[in-house]
């Protein structure tokens, strides 16, 4: 047995967390409003606003309640979606993991369908008034019908753009290195 000097053993250091809390203010991306999807969302908001104001300014009942629900809900949700893009919230931490192009495609496809149904309902309601104010009702319903169809077309275009963006998005695991190609077996 050899005598070797005992090595000094260092005491373990106390654990000190190294995480730091980072607070980042939302970045306002005004350039998004200048892009085609941003301009299209503003057009949707403008046309949708006119459509639901026309319905709201007249006495509505029955099917028009559905029209108001669709138009106001789509309008508020589009404002929210525009804010998500302008404030770049879609790239911030819990929202960045979501498949935004697919979410937008589903949203726009659903809104396009619902807006089309609402536009058909308000078109069918035009001319159904037999009161003293029938001409006024018919003109506001005609305007609401036209603007509802215009808004439907805008959402339809946004559906197409969202679908194209979703199909062009690389798969989630694209950043991983692919498996090497198989080597031919040696004979």
Q: How far apart are CA 175 and CA 123, in angstroms?
A: 50
Decide if 113 contacts 139 (C-beta within 8 A): no
> What does the chain come to in residues?
187
What's the pLDDT tens digit per position in 18-68? 665 555 666 788 888 999 999 999 999 999 999 989 888 876 666 778 889
Q: What share of the chain is helix, strand, coil (3-state, %, to 5)?
A: 65, 0, 35
Decide if 158 contacts 37 (C-beta within 8 A): yes
Other residues' Cβ atoms within 10 Å of the Cβ of residue 81: 20
What's the pLDDT tens digit per position in 118-160? 999 988 877 665 555 555 567 888 888 999 999 999 999 999 9
Residue boundaries of the structural domains of the chain: 31-169
Tokens coding 168 = 């062009």
């Amino acid at each position: 047995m050899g005598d070797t000097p005992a090595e000094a053993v260092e005491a373990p250091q106390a654990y000190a967390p190294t995480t730091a809390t980072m607070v980042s203010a939302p970045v306002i991306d005004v350039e998004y409003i200048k892009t085609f999807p941003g301009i299209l969302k503003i057009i949707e908001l403008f046309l949708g606003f006119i459509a639901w104001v026309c319905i709201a300014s007249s006495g509505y009942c029955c099917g028009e309640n559905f029209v108001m629900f669709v138009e106001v809900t789509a309008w508020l949700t589009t404002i929210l979606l525009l804010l998500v893009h302008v404030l770049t919230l879609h790239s911030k931490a819990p929202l960045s993991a979501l498949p935004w192009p697919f979410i937008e495609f589903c949203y726009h496809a659903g809104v396009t369908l619902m807006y089309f149904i609402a536009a058909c309902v308000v078109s069918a309601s035009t001319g159904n008034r037999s009161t003293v104010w029938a001409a006024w009702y018919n003109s506001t319903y005609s305007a609401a019908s036209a603007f509802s169809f215009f808004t439907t077309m805008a959402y339809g275009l946004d559906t197409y753009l969202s679908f194209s963006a979703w199909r062009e998005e690389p798969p989630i695991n694209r950043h991983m290195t692919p498996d090497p190609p198989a080597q031919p077996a040696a004979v």
